[in-house]
Structure 1
Amino acid sequence: MNELAWRAWAEQTATGLALVDAELRLRWLNPALIECLGLGFRHAPGQPFGVLLADADAGMARAAKVLAEQRPTQWRAIALAVPDGCELSADIALQPFGDGLLLEVHVLAEPPSAASPLSATLRGFAHEVKNPLAGLRGAAQLLQRRVEGEDLQALAGLIIDEADRLGALANRLLHHDGAAQLGPVNIHRLLERLVDLLLAEPAPPQLRHDYDPSVPDLHGDADRLQQVLLNLARNALEAGARTLTLRTRVEHGVRVGERMLRMALRVDVVDDGAGVPAALRDSLFQPLVSGRADGSGLGLALSREIAREHGGELRCSGSRPGHTVFSLYLPMERPHE
C-alpha cells in the first residue's frame, strides 16, 4: 500500500494517527487524532512532534532514539497536551515509516458507555460483510432443506445461526451508531459455541478445556465477544495449530491502561502453531498488519478494539513455535461498581 492509499484509509479510522518527518516535525494528523486532542491542528504540519505531549522535551528525545535505532516501540500512559487543563494520557506506538515515524495514539479513558460508537474501522468491516453473509445464509437454507440426516441438517443450521448473528451485529454497527448490546454473558457458553464452530471445520483441531467453573456471568455484548474468540481461534488455525486449549481464570489486581481492575476474567487461547513472527510482535495489533500474504490484518486490531470497548484488554502473553498464548482480559465488576 503506497502512502496515498494508506492516508485514504487512515482518514476513515477512529484510531489517532500522525506522521512525523526525519526532523521530528509533524507532517500530517488524521481527523480522529485532531478531534481527540481538540487543539485545532489545521496548522500542525511543520510543528515539532513534542507539541502533542505534556513533556515535549522528553518526548522529542525518546522519539529521536526510535528514529535513530529504526525499531518499533510502545510508550505507555504518556500525558498528552490538551487545552483547558484537562488530563489525558495515551498509549503511543511508534514505528519507522519512510524517512520518519508513524504514530498510533490510543487514548486511555474510562470504558465507553453503552451509547458509545465503535470505530469507523469496525463499521466499515460490517458494511463489507453484509452481502456475503446474505448469500451464505441463503445457500445454507437450501442445503438444510435438501440434505438428509440430522447431523447434516444441524451443520446447516449452525451456518444459518452464525450468519444471523453476524448479520445482526453488522446491522447494529451500521444503523445504531455501533452501540453495544450489553447484558449478562456466560463466557463458557461462548467458548462451547466456539467449540461447535471449530468441530464443524473440514479438519478440526484437537480441543482442550481448562475452565474455572466458579466464573460468574459478565456484563457485555455476547456477539462481539464471540467474534473476538472466533478471531483468535481462526488466527491460530491459520498459523498451523493442530491443538487449541481454551482456559479461563479469575485474576485480581489487573492493570488495564491507567485503570486497576479489582477482579478480571482472563480467557486464554493457547495454540501449538508456528508462533508470531518476531518482526510483527511490536505491531501485532495494528490495523493492516498481518504475517500472511493473504491476511487482511484486521482480526486482531478489531478484537483488541472490542476488548477495550468492554473496559478490558487483549494481549499476546507469549509466543514461540509450538506455544502461543493470547489472553483476553475482561472486568468482572459491573459498570456501576
Structure 2
Amino acid sequence: MVPGLNYFDFQQTAVVVLSEDLKVLTLNSAAENLFGISANRLCGRKLGWAWLNIEDYQQIFLNVATQLQPMSQHDVVVDLAGGVKRHCGISATPVEQQTGTEILLEFDHQEAPSSVVRDSELRALQQISDGMLRGFAHEVKNPLGGLRGAAQLLARELPNDELKEYTNVIIAEADRLGNLVNRMLTPNAEPEMVAVNIHQILDRIYALVSVELPDRVALTTDYDPSIPNIMGDPELLIQGVLNVVRNAQQALVEAGGYGQIVLRTRVRRNMTIGHQRHRLVAQLDVVDDGPGVPEQLREQIFYPLITGRAEGSGLGLPIAQSLINQQGGVINFTSSPGHTVFSIFLTLEGET
C-alpha cells in the first residue's frame, strides 16, 4: 500500500468508513463532494455533524455493526447545511478489524430523487394496468396472426435459406407474442416460474434490439457472471425487459439518434421487495445517456397512457412493471439529464 494514498479515491461513488459509534474514519473525494466538506474537517467527527438527518437511518448502520450483516437502502435523503438535500442509495457493509468493527458506506448519488414505487402504488398500478392490458392484448391478437401468416408466405417466395432467417425471426417473435397475449387473456393466469439464467434472457434481448438501433446508438453489456439463476417466467421476463430497453432506445432516437444503452447486472444484498425481505436479489440496470425522464412525469411514469414522447403510447413501461410485478419483482428508476437508470429487481433461485 502506498503511504498517504486513499484507494477509495479511485471509486466514482462516495465512500465513507465509520467506527461503531458512527465517527468518520476516512472518506474519499466523491464523499467530500457529496457532503460539501473536506476530509480534514469531517474525519474524527460523527457523521451526523454533516448529515443532519442521520438519525432517520442510523439504526440501520448500528444493526450492520452489531449483526455483522450488510444492508442496503434506496431512496435515502441526506439533509445538509443550508437546506441542501441529496438523494442516494446506500450500501452498508461491516468490516471487522483488530480494533473493532468498521462500517463501509457507499453512496449512489442521484441528482434527481429516486423514483421508488411503493407497495400501495404497485397495487393501484396493478389494478389499472391489468384491465388495460387485457384490452390491449385483445386488440393485437388478430394482427399478430396476420403478421405470422404474411411472414410464412414471404418465406416460401425467398430464394435461399439465408434470407429465410429473417422471416424465421418474425415468425418466432409472433409466436412468442401470441402466446403472451393468450396468457394475458386467460383469467387469473399465473406466471410459469422456473430457474432462469438472466444473461441468456439479456442476450436474447440484445439480439432483438441491436438490429433495430441506429448506427449512432451503441448497445453494450456489463454483466456480473457470478449471479446465480433467478426465478422468473422467461416469456414475461423477455417482454418486460424488452419494453424497458426499447423505452431507452426511443428516448435516444427522439433526442437526436445517438448515445449509449448499457445492460448491467449486479447482486444486491438485503433488500425488501413488496413486504418480503430477501438476503440477495438480482439487479438488472438499463442505463442510457439520453435527456432523462421529464420531471413532471416522474411520479406517473408507470401509469398507463402517460408518456413524454409525441409518438409514445404510454403502455410500454406500465406493461413492463406489471409483468415484473407478477414474478415478485419491481422496477424502479432514477433519472437526470445524461444519465437514466431503470433498475429491475428479481428474486434469486433459493431466495424466495
TM-score range, shorter chain: 0.5 to 0.7
Q: Please show how residues 177-256 of structure 1 align to structure 2 within 5 Å.
A: 177-201=188-212, 203=214, 205-240=217-252, 242-256=259-273
The answer as to whether partners of 1:288 and 1:297 remain within 8 angstroms in 2 is yes
Q: Please show how residues 54-133 of structure 1 align to structure 2 within 5 Å.
A: 90-92=119-121, 105=124, 119-133=130-144
Shift of 1:263: 0.8
Shift of 1:163: 0.6
What are the Cα deviations for residues 8-61 of structure 1, in whole angstroms up to 9, with x where unaligned? xxxxxxxxxxxxxxxxxxxxxxxxxxxxxxxxxxxxxxxxxxxxxxxxxxxxxx
Count, aligned residues: 230
Distance 1:121 1:138, change over 3 A: same
Shift of 1:245: 0.6
Distance 1:327 1:75, change over 3 A: closer
Shift of 1:208: 0.9
Quote the Cα distance in structure 1 between the aligned partners of 2:278 and 2:268: 9
Which residue, out of 322, 335, 345, partners 1:329? 345
Question: Residue 282 of structure 2: SS of its match in structure 1?
Answer: strand
Q: 2:171 aligns to what?
A: 160
Which letter does structure 2 place at the counterpart of 1:268?
D
Q: 1:294 aligns to what?
A: 311
What are the Cα deviations for residues 264-295 of structure 1, in whole angstroms up to 9, with x where unaligned? 00001111222111110111111111112332
Shift of 1:106: 5.8
Distance 1:75 1:327, change over 3 A: closer
**TM-score where L is the length of structure 2:** 0.60
Gapped regions of structure 1 (runs ≥ 5): 1-73, 78-89, 94-103, 108-117
Q: 1:67 aligns to what?
A: none
Q: 2:294 aligns to what?
A: 277
Distance 1:199 1:106, change over 3 A: closer
Q: CA RMSD in A?
A: 2.5
Distance 1:187 1:92, change over 3 A: closer
Q: 2:146 aligns to what?
A: 135
**TM-score where L is the length of structure 1:** 0.62
Quote the Cα distance in structure 2 between the aligned partners of 1:184 and 1:265: 13
Shift of 1:75: 10
Gapped regions of structure 2 (runs ≥ 5): 1-114, 254-258
Which structure has the higher relative contact order (CA within 8 Å, separation 6+)? 2
Quote the Cα distance in structure 2 between the aligned partners of 1:308 and 1:279: 24
Q: 1:259 aligns to what?
A: 276
The answer as to whether partners of 1:237 and 1:273 remain within 8 angstroms in 2 is no
Distance 1:202 1:214, change over 3 A: closer
Question: Residue 314 of structure 2: SS of its match in structure 1?
Answer: coil
